[in-house]
Amino acid sequence: MAEHTEGRRLPPLPGLIAGGLVILGVLLSMFVAEGLLVVAGLGAFGPGILRELGWLKDQDEFQRQAAHRAGYHAYLIGGLATVLVVSGLRWRETNEGSAEWIMLILVILWMTGLFSALLAYWGARKTASRVLLTFGSFWAVFVIASVIGESDDTAEFLLGVLMSFVVVAPFFVLAWTAGRWPRRTGAALLTVSALFLVMFVAPQGASSLKLSSILVTDTLLLVPLIASGIALLRDEGSDDPDRDESDDDGAPPDVVG
């Protein structure tokens, strides 16, 4: 239809402001006062509310449809998570750790909406590939930093770095295979996620406070992997290793607000 184009544009201003408020709110809540998390909430939800009121008109029809679909998905998954958490707390007749459980639901809501929007913008293969690359990169930095911090001996340091690549390499391998063999990669991701659930999440403590805090971390790790796996399994394209999806500008969707 049209020639492929030149470079990338900056994200729109409302998205930048919203993202800045989210980061600012998180930092303020960590280092100044926990109640200042409300600043992050303004960034996360403010632009969307302004758009629905018709006071902010910065999205075209495709972006609005993607946002509405992401919101519906977040409502479904977040609603289910809320019912499960409330049911669990009532079953155990406790409200201990309620704030952490609420944070967990918010994390699930936000991640579901984000992932749904990414799928709308990038498609399953590119989304899964970039998620895995991001995970692999962060984990590589974390593992190497741990090795540097704990090793005094050069040989021990080199062995630690080598072992870290063994841990990190599967993420990069799966990021590559996601674009070429999506269904097989999706099955692999779901298998790895199931193993992680069984081996690490399930045995974690019985205390509701500890469990909810740990689950936030597990959710941040598992939800993208599980969602990527499901999206790849449902990918309707052929397992064509020569298929190239590198044409889009790669700009992230305006999903903060």
Partner 1 sequence: MTQQELADRVGVTRQTILSIERGRYNPSVGLALRLARTFGVAVEVLFEIEGEEHHG
Interaction site with partner 1 (CB under 8 A): 1-6, 9, 60-63, 65, 120-121, 123, 247-249, 251, 253
Shortest distance, position 168 Cβ to partner 1, whole Å:
31
Using the minimum distance from each CB to partner 1, give the nearer residue, 6 or 93.
6
Using the minimum distance from each CB to partner 1, give the nearer residue, 2 or 166.
2
Which amino acid appears at position 136 of this protein?
A: G
CA–CA gap between residue 221 and residue 62 (Å, rounded) = 29
Using the minimum distance from each CB to partner 1, give the nearer residue, 68 or 210.
68
Using the minimum distance from each CB to partner 1, give the nearer residue, 153 or 247.
247
CA–CA gap between residue 12 and residue 15 (Å, rounded) = 5
Shortest distance, position 65 Cβ to partner 1, whole Å:
7
251, exposed or middle or buried, with CB in 10 Å at 0-12, 13-18, 19+? middle
Both tokens of residue 26? 């998180």
Shortest distance, position 29 Cβ to partner 1, whole Å:
32
DSSP string spanning 83-107?
HHHHHHHHHTT--TTHHHHHHHHHH
Shortest distance, position 247 Cβ to partner 1, whole Å:
7
Shortest distance, position 2 Cβ to partner 1, whole Å:
4
* Residues 168/162, Cβ–Cβ less than 8 Å: no
Using the minimum distance from each CB to partner 1, give the nearer residue, 79 or 237.
237
Using the minimum distance from each CB to partner 1, give the nearer residue, 115 or 171.
115
Place of tokens 């394209």: 237
Shortest distance, position 61 Cβ to partner 1, whole Å:
5
* Residues 78/105, Cβ–Cβ less than 8 Å: yes
Place of tokens 């018709």: 54
* Residues 128/178, Cβ–Cβ less than 8 Å: yes
> DSSP class of residue 55?
S
Which amino acid appears at position 171 of this protein?
A: F
Among 123, 89, 92, 120, smallest CA distance to 104 is for 89
CA–CA gap between residue 16 and residue 115 (Å, rounded) = 19
Shortest distance, position 54 Cβ to partner 1, whole Å:
17
Using the minimum distance from each CB to partner 1, give the nearer residue, 110 or 122.
122
